[in-house]
Structure 1
Amino acid sequence: MFFVDGKSLLVSKPLTAFEDLLTTYRFFRVSNSHLINLNYINMYLHGTGA
């Protein structure tokens, strides 16, 4: 897990456990290994790699 203050935390639970808990807080699963908080997304440019 990575936090906005730059800290990180190693967890041993599967991502699905966090996905179920965090969807009400605007977290979205973007891949098999990443959940993102949509509150911190300003723009998405599809296919640009940016």
Structure 2
Amino acid sequence: MTVTPDLVDQELNLLSPVGAVHWEGSVSVRGEIAGSPVTGIGYTEIHPPRPT
């Protein structure tokens, strides 16, 4: 599967207040399942793991 952002600049830079960069936004999905092409839309959040 390939997940592609639908819009640019969906990154939220929180380095100053909380020390992390957080990305979230609308995405499109393309790929294959069992040899058949599939497409879709979604919403994704990506953030680095918090230190333990």
Verify same fold: TM over 0.5. Answer: no
TM-score if structure 1 supplies the norm length?
Answer: 0.20
Higher strand share: 2
Higher helix share: 1
Greater RCO (Cα-Cα under 8 Å, separation 6 or more): 2
> Which of the pair has more CA radius of gyration?
2
